Structure 1
């Protein structure tokens, strides 16, 4: 495949993945209240990385910012950190990827330099994708664990369930609400996967550019020394003959 196609494809996928990571990090629906067993729901609760929101049946929404660091578990803080790192790396990789495109002509930038920039952007995309997938997976694992614990406590135990990442919201009737996956999780997973594919394409573009650069290296023709001496003697003899003719 042509290096330009790989570079352009990696750039487009990296841009889409970066936008998806930014959107997922800013979304408030990482975990949403499970309404499967509810007959009448007057309050709909959901939670993101930065805000805790409630929507009433009238449509009024109220969000409470999640300030502080010590009030949340280490897993929740790790998810925040992973998503922020993923966003920063994906944005930087997108910027570097723009300058590494072969279709973009710059003053004194040669193809090997662009190839190295393409590899750098590809590595950033891959790391950003891994961070996004890891962060979303850690959050989803906590939801699954607390969903089971809350369900058991509501229907089989005497204690109210609590979300392990500080995500619990007290419900009515003495029962703690159960939470399930929100759309932000799927956006983070999809964005991370797209970034991984984009990073692989950028890395393959680096290999193709360097391969073409080596194949186009000008060869040097080796001429044996004996032939060179013979040519010099022939040249001198021809010069002597010309001098004799002039005389």
Structure 2
């Protein structure tokens, strides 16, 4: 019983880690900075610059947003590296979730006990390699 509870708890925690990385890919506001709004002018115009892995955007004080997608692959190298690492982590994490689910003691798929133990171990290795620990 204790082994089953530990496996279920570990599966839930590792699956949540994979889900959080998946949510990170869709976040819009990775970097935000305010432009303008200095005192001393009669018209105070403020704009917010924000960017994520997919685009750069500028929102002004009239709530008009202008976005520009990253068109050239090598234009912003560190963004491309983060994109690649996140997508690799998601792919490896997906295989880890599947291996851990099949290898858990409380599921009826996966074969005999030694095979299930190997699947759980390989799922744990995939989670560590994918960065979801």
1:122-201 map, 5 Å: 122-129=124-131, 195-196=132-133
Where does residue 8 of structure 2 map in the other structure?
8
Change (3 A) 1:59 1:2: same
CA distance in 1, matches of 2:6, 2:13: 11
How far is the alpha carbon of 1:118 from its aligned partner? 0.6
Which segments of 5 or more consecutive residues in structure 2 lack a partner in the other structure? none
Structure showing greater relative contact order (alpha-carbon pairs closer than 8 Å, 6 or more residues apart): 1
Which segments of 5 or more consecutive residues in structure 1 lack a partner in the other structure? 130-194, 197-247
1:63 paired residue among 64, 67, 70: 67
How far is the alpha carbon of 1:21 from its aligned partner? 0.6
Structure 1 or 2: more helix by fraction: 1
How far is the alpha carbon of 1:34 from its aligned partner? 4.9
| CA shift digits 1:189-236 (9 cap, x unpaired) | xxxxxx21xxxxxxxxxxxxxxxxxxxxxxxxxxxxxxxxxxxxxxxx
Between structure 1 and structure 2, the one with the greater Rg is 1
Structure 1 or 2: more strand by fraction: 2
| TM-score, normalised with respect to structure 2 | 0.82
| CA shift digits 1:149-173 (9 cap, x unpaired) | xxxxxxxxxxxxxxxxxxxxxxxxx
Root-mean-square deviation (CA, aligned residues, Å) is: 2.2
1:104 counterpart SS class: coil
Paired positions, count:
128
CA distance in 2, matches of 1:126, 1:68: 32
| TM-score, normalised with respect to structure 1 | 0.47
CA distance in 1, matches of 2:91, 2:63: 35
